[in-house]
Every structure is written in structure tokens, then in C-alpha cells.
Amino acid sequence: MTVNAGARLDRLPISSFHRRVLALIGIGMFFDGFDVYVAATVLAATLQSGFSTIGQNAQFVSVTFLGMMLGSFLTGFLGDRYGRRFTYQANLAVFGFASIASAFVPSMKVLILLRGIMGLGLGAEMVVGFSTLTEFVPPRARGRWLGALSVMVVSSLPISGLIATAIIPRFGWRAMFLLGGLGALAVWYLRKSLPESPRWLESVGRDEEANTLLQAIEREVSSQRGLLPPPSKVAATQKLSGLQSLFGPVLLPRVIVGAVTLIVANTLIYGFVLWLPTFFVREGRSMAASFGSSLVMSIGAPIGSAIGAFTSDSWGRKPTIVGASLLTIFVGSFYPFVKDPVVLVVVGFLLMIPIYILVTLLFAIYVPELFPTEVRMRASGICNTFGRGATIITPFLVVALLKSHGIGGVLSFMIGLLIVQILLVLFLGIEPKNRRLEEIDNEVSAVTAAKGRDFA
């Protein structure tokens, strides 16, 4: 049986099926983002109340990265071995239950321990969610739809800030963990109806299941959109397996690009965005004023994600990444020198926009597109592992730079990383704009086969 899953999915017009998949993945990832970003307001509250010290806050963030690093790594192998559906259900349960338990901790030490467990699920969700949607959406709309998924994720930043402003002064920081955990478990129940990826089923030889699932999808779409066009013929590709395939002449540069760009993206989020309320509290502002300033600035996050979503298919991935990196450097150069509180918030808002253009392009769109279906999740997981792992030390660097050089020192470090990112993307990156996943896969297969002939 020739399934031809990729071509059959790519010729489908956008329908309620795609919207349902986006909604089910997106709601779960929203609560993933909520649990990640809740740290910004929770840590400011625990610091002010004396429940934690700034050093313990750094440990909390660092343990989050450790858990997310392990979760990213493990989910890549689990997702390629046992499927996308199994993996995203497992990680939702992990961070949902751990988040609920965090609402009842007796000490900061216990909270830090639970945060590590929560991080396992948080890191896994980021990898499996974007990779799964990548395999369902046709190339003409892939950038916009993955960008829309990213908008849903980063919208949790201002929403978590808004909820924290209303909840924490009345009910305390523990209620934030309870909300995030209950929301995740509710989505776990709803998401049991999300289908497995036909591309993955075909890649592991489960052709009959893939064909049955594709027929059901095609019937649903054709009932709404009419007769479907015939799928194109796709040349057979050489199957890839094992870690060794990631270190070949085609995939190794992509792994390097993916790993470095995610190091940069993680550092921007967790070395600057996550610390904004703590920066403001340390400068002597009240917790309410700190939350308010951070909330206004965080509105730039979904705006930036939306811009990234709607420009990636028209401008291309590489030009958008390079342009947003340059804009982040430009605006970030002014931020440390602004003293007026109102102007500071405005400049901070403008800085958040290019940061989250990058977050959307790198996490949601670019990195999952770099790798063939057979190794997509493990390769994305490894790139995310480097990203999370490198930023384990970021909280301690932030504390050290903040004490010695202020916010300017923190931003100078990030500007240096952005320059490295620009050079790597320009010289090693590929351009997946409007290209079918199988077309990108064939590049890898062709070079692999040619190397095999040369060796023979």
C-alpha cells in the first residue's frame, strides 16, 4: 500500500479539521505557556513576601530549565518512537499534576523540586505541539498557522500577568499554580480526540492505520469543501533512523542552527522577559506598579508573534529572523539608558515585539521545518535540549550581570548572542518558505544516498 500521506495532506484546503487540530493543540500549549510565564509574577510575590530570596528565585528558574531540557530531550525520542498523540497527552498530565501540587508547598525548597518535575512536561509540550501541527498543515499556510499557534502560546504572557494582578493581591501566588494545573488537566481530557499524525504513521510503517485515518480526514474535508484535487506523486525517500543521521553533511548544520537559535530565544525570554517584575521590584517599585508595567510591556508579545506569523510566508523565514534580530539589537541598545518610567514602558513594549517575532519564527515555524518526519521530533528535541540546557546558567548570569552592570549588562550579553544568530542563519540556514516537507526531506535523502555511493 502506498499511503502518500504528505501529498494527500498538503492538497487539502483549510477546513474545520485544521481549525480543530489547531485549537486542541493551541489550548494545551496556552496552559504550557501560562505555567512557564507564571514564574515572572510568582517569583516577584514570593520575593516580596519573604517566602524566597533572589538566589532561590534563580534556582527556581534554573531548575525549570533543567526539567525542560530533560523533557525536550526525552519527548523527541518518545514522539518518534511512540507517536505524537501519546507524547502530548503524557506531558500535559505531568505538568498539570505538578502545577496543582505546587499550590500547596510548605517551603521554597519543595516548590523548586516540584518546578523541576513540572519542567519535564513544559519542555515536552513545546517540542511535540509545534512538530505535530507542522505535519498537518499544507505548505502554503504552514507559516501562518504555526505562527497562530505561537500567538496562542505567548498570549499567555499578558493574560497570566493580568490574572496575577487580580489574583495574587487577594488570594496569593499559590492560586496561580492551581489555575494553570486545573486548566492543563481539562485540556488533557479534551485532547484525547486529537488524531495521530498520518505522516508519522507512514514513516514507521503503519500504513493501514495511516490510510484509514487519511480517508476519514478526506471525507470530512470534502464534505465541506467539495471534490478534492488529486495528490501529487512524491518520489520515495531514503528512510533515516538513529542519532547518526543527525550528524551527516546536511542535517548537522541544521542541528547547529536549530540549537544556537533556540539558545538565543530562550535567553531572550528567560534572561529578560521573565525577570522584568523582579527588575522593577529591585529598583524599589511596589509589586502592583511592577506588575502593571510588566503587563503593558507584555502586550507586545502577541503583537510580535502575530507579525511573525503573517510575515514568515511572505517575507520568508531567514529574512524575518535576521530583520527581527537587528531590530531587537537596535531597540535593546536604548533600553538601559531610559530613566523616565513612562518612556521605559513604551521602549520595553517596542522591544518585546521583535523578541516575540523571533520566538514565533524559531520555536514554532523554523526549527520543526528543518528536519525529516522520521527524526523531526528527536532533532527538534535535541535542539530544544541545547536551548534549555544552556539557559540553566542564565538566571545566575542575570543575577551577576545585574549586580555588576545593571540591566545594561544583561542586554549587552543578549545583543552578543543575537549577532551570532544572524551570522549562523545567513550562512548555514535554509529557507523552507512555501516548500513541502517532503521536498525538504528529499534534500537530505539525495545527499545521504550520494555519500553512500561515494563510500561504496
Other C-beta atoms lying within 10 Å of the C-beta of residue 346: 13
Residue pair 371/259 in contact (Cβ under 8 Å)? The answer is: no
- Per-residue CA distances from 437 to 22, 212, 234, 324, 370 (Å): 18, 21, 11, 25, 9
Burial class (CB in 10 A: 0-12, 13-18, 19+), 208: exposed
Residue 62 has what pLDDT?
Answer: 80
Residue 456 has what pLDDT?
Answer: 42
Residue 453 has what pLDDT?
Answer: 47
Domain that includes residue 376, residue range: 5-455
Nearest to 445 by CA among 236, 258, 232: 236
Distance CA 308, CA 143 (A): 9
Q: Where are the alpha helices (DSSP H) in 246-362?
A: 251-271, 276-282, 287-298, 300-315, 317-334, 341-359
3-state class of 7 per DSSP? helix
Distance CA 154, CA 157 (A): 5
Q: Residue 205 sits in a domain of what CATH number?
A: 1.20.1250.20
Count of domains in the chain? 1
Cα radius of gyration rounded to whole Å, the chain: 22
Cell of 355: 523578541
Cell of 206: 503503519
Cell of 177: 499554580
Residue 455 has what pLDDT?
Answer: 38
Residue 284 has what pLDDT?
Answer: 58
SS (H, E, C) 365-426: HHHHHCCCHHHHHHHHHHHHHHHHHHCCCHHHHHHHHHHHHHHHHHHHHHHHHHHHHHHHHH
Q: Name residues of the chain where pLDDT drops below 70.
A: 1, 234-244, 273-292, 336, 441-456
Contacts for 448 with CB less than 8 Å, ≥ 6 apart: 238, 240, 245, 248, 250
Residue 240 has what pLDDT?
Answer: 55
The pLDDT tens digits for 317-335 are 999 999 999 999 998 887 7
Other C-beta atoms lying within 10 Å of the C-beta of residue 140: 12
pTM equals: 0.79
Residue pair 395/61 in contact (Cβ under 8 Å)? The answer is: yes
- Residue keyed to cell 501529498: 7
